[in-house]
Structure 1
Amino acid sequence: MGEENAVKTPGDILGRVSEYTSGRGTHVRGDHICASIVGQQSISAPAAGASDKAQLPVIEVINGKERSAVPETGSTVTAKVVRIDHRKATADILCVGLRAVTQKFTGIIRQQDVRATEIDKVEIATSFRPGDIVRAEVLSLGDARAYYLSTAKNELGVVFAKSPAGVRMVPVSWEKMQCPKTKVIELRKVAKT
């Protein structure tokens, strides 16, 4: 009874209790599941190993004002580098795991947190550039202004970079990316995919 992701208002009928399990933002009225809040309708698969009743897909209404994803120590984040200096890279955190953030969080990748080996030889300018998208791990809550991030694992580092020609660069090693158009190679701390 309606498309997934369609905007629903309180009282809208979403489906029957014989077809779905009532989830967040819904209530049951008779044999129908109805919206309780304004938001987008979402249908998700039943939980693995659930009881017979829970074998039905879950229908929910998700409000856009739900709590934003917040970085926590140990979580993986995706961030955009906005500024670099000789000791650190400053980045705006875009996602925590797979969830987008709705408020601004700043992260700092310090020189000693770029990679696990040869820390004394790390240069921020050869690891990141402004505009790069990086995958990093939250080390700590840092100071009042920024989270401390690390790219010291193989799967962490630059996941997206544009060349001066405006083309998406491709990784050629763990420390180099190449522009497919101009063939220019630039140094980066590349995330292993």
Structure 2
Amino acid sequence: MAVTASTTTPVCVGDRLGASDAYEAGEGVYVRDGFLFAGVVGHQRIETPPPPLEGGGGKPVLHVATRGTQPLVPKPGDVVTVKISRVTQTTALALIVCVGRQALSTEFKGAIRQQDVRATEIDRVILYDCFRPGDIVRAEVLSLGDARSYYLSTAKNDLGVVYARSAAAGAPLVPTGWVTMQCPETQTVEKRKVAKVGGGWDNVPPVK
């Protein structure tokens, strides 16, 4: 097949590329409801069939090529959103789901060590009073650790838990301070290392 000049057209996942009665789906493309969509981030490529006299005459084939597309990878200094998977005495293990506001297509693991939860009184940090499995946390990437796991920090006021559910009722917890969140149904107070979002709790002194 011959390749047309449209090979440089950039596309994102979910972009509609054309109708299925006009094109065949190739690599990196899927069909839904009579249309072709990009299944990956890359560049659109159209292969035109040879003329009927040469045994062709079929529909052009749409591909999305990922060559030259760099995957998003966390790097030191990035603010990431993570989901806590396990909490031990010294480390909260997590899965990194976003870098900034962009979701990741590749799985990266992170670890918040006891000394990186807050800036002071590190030896008094109790990890289970800061994070619980299932919590959504905003953190900063410190460095690449080992086994494809990043070391993360929540030692700034705007870093920490941004979403959590109560242990008793499963309802979303409401932040009530720097180290507490409350269940709106049971009024139970749970401890967390809470991220300050917007202008919340300006009258509450930060944890020292």
What is the TM-score when the length of structure 2 is the normalising length?
Answer: 0.64
- What 5-or-longer segments of structure 2 have no aligned partner? 1-13, 24-41, 46-61, 198-208
Q: In terms of Rg, which structure is larger?
A: 2
Paired with 2:71 and 2:15, the residues of 1 have a C-alpha distance of 21
1:70 maps onto 2:111 in alignment: no
Mark the CA change 1:99 to 1:66 in structure 2 (over 3 Å): closer, same or farther.
farther
- Residue 166 of structure 1 deviates from its aligned partner by 1.2
**What is the percentage of aligned positions where both structures have the same residue?**
53
Q: Give 2:188's aligned residue.
A: 184
- What 5-or-longer segments of structure 1 have no aligned partner? 13-23, 28-36, 40-61
Mark the CA change 1:159 to 1:122 in structure 2 (over 3 Å): closer, same or farther.
same
- Residue 143 of structure 1 deviates from its aligned partner by 1.4
SS of 1:120 mapped into structure 2: helix
SS of 2:123 mapped into structure 1: helix
In the TM superposition, what whole-angstrom CA distance separates every residue of 1:76-115 from its partner, at most 9, and x where no partner exists?
1000000011000000000011111111100000000000
Question: Which one of the candidate residues 118, 121, 125 is aligned to 2:124?
Answer: 121
The residue type paired with residue 137 of structure 1 is E
Paired with 2:18 and 2:120, the residues of 1 have a C-alpha distance of 55
Q: Give 1:110's aligned residue.
A: 113
Question: Which one of the candidate residues 82, 85, 99 is aligned to 1:82?
Answer: 85
The aligned length equals 148
Mark the CA change 1:25 to 1:137 in structure 2 (over 3 Å): closer, same or farther.
same
1:132 maps onto 2:132 in alignment: no
SS of 1:101 mapped into structure 2: strand
Q: Give 2:16's aligned residue.
A: 7
Question: Which one of the candidate residues 97, 100, 104 is aligned to 1:97?
Answer: 100
1:162 maps onto 2:169 in alignment: no
Paired with 1:66 and 1:183, the residues of 2 have a C-alpha distance of 49
In the TM superposition, what whole-angstrom CA distance separates every residue of 1:41-66 from its partner, at most 9, and x where no partner exists?
xxxxxxxxxxxxxxxxxxxxx97x95
Q: Indicate conservation of the 8 Å contact 2:44/2:63, yes or no.
A: no
The residue type paired with residue 192 of structure 1 is K
- Residue 68 of structure 1 deviates from its aligned partner by 3.3
